[in-house]
């Protein structure tokens, strides 16, 4: 069911963050947050809504600059080579970025080419099969259900391999079969040395994953006054 994961084009070095702080508008979501992720590791972000899980994921993806602290890959700051870092990661946000008028196959092929790869039809079909949506290749985006959209978003992770997956609530809207498929895919990715950071409220079945709650690093009112 799961396609053999090709070797990563980049060595999956340890990915770590130290003393990270995130500022959204006027509000400091967290500060002093640190983590370290070894090849094959998984990190699950937990906590109540609005505690900064999605912001932390966007920060890890490089879409958001940390207000303080730095991210390192294999000991080197990722800010030194942002393009190489973007090549190492795949991000699945709340929205899958699917177009109503493009077919699933076209969107996956575009994704592969956008990441500098070739889009072999066999590879695309294998990615869809792995998530149990092999029949959706020629279906336009507007006809997909919410669960199918999510599965297409997950299939994108397999089209062009990258060692670091950043997933924002990857299993929202998935049925039991899709959940099992996701677990198989995630397990295969980690066995190949890939890393996963996922924000979730559900049990993703990531064995041995460490938990991180951004809310624990939220500055309390007293600390904020001390800063001011």
Stretch that binds another protein, among 61-69, 121-129, 175-183, 187-195 (CB under 8 A): 61-69
Beta bridge partners of residue 15, listed in sequence order: 37, 73
From residue 111 to residue 140, the character string flagging contacts with another protein as x (rule: CB under 8 A) and all else as - is: x-xxxx------------------------
Question: Minimum Å distance from CB 67 to another protein?
Answer: 11
**50 is a contact residue toward another protein (CB under 8 A):** no
Place of tokens 């575009």: 110
Give the total of residues touching another protein (CB under 8 A): 30
What phi and psi, each to the nearest 5 degrees, are found at residue 78? -70, -25
Stretch that binds another protein, among 26-34, 101-109, 120-128, 201-209 (CB under 8 A): 101-109
Question: Minimum Å distance from CB 225 to another protein?
Answer: 26
Cα separation of 83 and 63, whole Å? Answer: 12
**21 is a contact residue toward another protein (CB under 8 A):** no
- Contacting another protein (CB under 8 A), which of 93, 187, 188, 193? 93
The three-state secondary structure class of 47 is coil
Beta bridge partners of residue 76, listed in sequence order: 73
Quick one: 86 or 183, whose CB is closer to another protein? Answer: 86
Nearest of 179, 162, 159 to residue 171 by alpha carbon: 179
Task: Tell me how far the alpha carbon of residue 219 is from its chain's centroid.
Answer: 26
**83 is a contact residue toward another protein (CB under 8 A):** yes
Question: Minimum Å distance from CB 59 to another protein?
Answer: 10
CB 46 within 8 Å of CB 213: yes
Q: Supply 8's token pair.
A: 């990563």
**97 is a contact residue toward another protein (CB under 8 A):** yes
- Contacting another protein (CB under 8 A), which of 89, 124, 127, 181? 89
Nearest of 54, 60, 62, 12 to residue 34 by alpha carbon: 60
Angle formed at CA 139 by CA 134 and CA 145, multiple of 5 degrees? 85
- Interface positions with another protein (CB under 8 A): 25, 58, 61-65, 83-84, 86-87, 89-91, 93-99, 101-102, 106, 110-111, 113-116
């Amino acid at each position: 069911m799961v396609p053999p994961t090709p070797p990563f084009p980049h060595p999956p070095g340890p990915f770590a963050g130290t003393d990270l702080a995130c500022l959204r508008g006027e509000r400091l979501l967290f500060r002093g947050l640190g983590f370290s992720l070894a090849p094959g590791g998984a990190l699950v972000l937990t906590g109540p809504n609005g505690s900064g899980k999605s912001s932390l994921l966007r920060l890890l993806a490089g879409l958001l600059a940390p207000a303080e602290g730095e991210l390192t890959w294999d000991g080197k700051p990722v800010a030194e080579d942002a393009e190489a870092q973007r090549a190492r990661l795949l991000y699945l946000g709340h929205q899958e970025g699917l177009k109503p008028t493009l077919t699933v196959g076209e969107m996956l092929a575009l994704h592969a080419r956008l990441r500098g790869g070739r889009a072999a039809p066999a590879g695309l079909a294998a990615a869809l099969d792995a998530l149990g949506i092999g029949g959706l290749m020629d279906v336009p985006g507007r006809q997909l259900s919410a669960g199918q959209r999510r599965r297409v978003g997950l299939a994108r992770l397999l089209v062009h391999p990258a060692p670091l997956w950043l997933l924002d609530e990857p299993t929202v809207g998935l049925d039991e079969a899709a959940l099992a498929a996701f677990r198989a895919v995630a397990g295969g990715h980690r066995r190949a040395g890939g890393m996963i950071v996922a924000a979730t409220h559900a049990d993703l079945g990531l064995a041995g994953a460490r938990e991180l709650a951004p809310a624990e690093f939220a500055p309390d009112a007293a600390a904020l006054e001390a800063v001011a």
